[in-house]
Amino acid sequence: MQHVVIVIHLMLVLALIGVVLLQRSEGGGLGIGGGGGFMTSRGTANVLTRATAILAGLFFVTSLILSVLAGMNRAPTSIIRGGQTAPTAPTPGAPPTNSGGGGLLKQLQEGAPPRPGTPAAPAPSGPAVPQSK
């Protein structure tokens, strides 16, 4: 269904471009307006104006249909993920894993050094080593 609407949408785009280019330039914005030609009567200007309005309306309708079709298959997701444990630190030299989701941003944040002014990461808990004074 979506492919059919995309093809119709692209045909409308091409038709809209063609109709707009056929219209006579009123102000001569590019300096090439005016002169004679097969599109000189006032009646054809009305036909082209109506055709432009109809094609523009159909363009908006197909755009809305495409946006609705794109949103139909999308599953709702939550930003807040409750009940998950903190991810473990990756082993040095091992490729980063993407098991917890988050994508590229999360991978960059895990591999980036701490920013200045932020507290350092807590030391890993292990056997206590007495410090000499």
Tell me if 53 sits within 8 A of 15, measured CB to CB. Answer: no
Mean pLDDT across the stretch 35-51?
69
pTM above 0.75, yes or no: no
Residue 17: predicted pLDDT? 94
**DSSP alpha helix (H) spans, 23-41:** none
d(CA 17, CA 55) in angstroms, rounded, equals 10
Q: What angle do CA 51, 39, 41 make, to 5 degrees?
A: 90
- pLDDT(72) > 70: yes
Give the highest mean pLDDT range of 74-78, 98-102, 109-113. 74-78
| pLDDT tens, position by position, 101-112 | 667 777 777 776
Higher pLDDT, 66 or 130: 66
- pLDDT(91) > 90: no
Tell me if 46 sits within 8 A of 100, measured CB to CB. Answer: no
- pLDDT(6) > 60: yes
- pLDDT(31) > 90: no
**3-class secondary structure, 3:** helix
Q: Give the percent of the chain with pLDDT over 90.
A: 29
Domain limits, the chain:
2-24+43-70
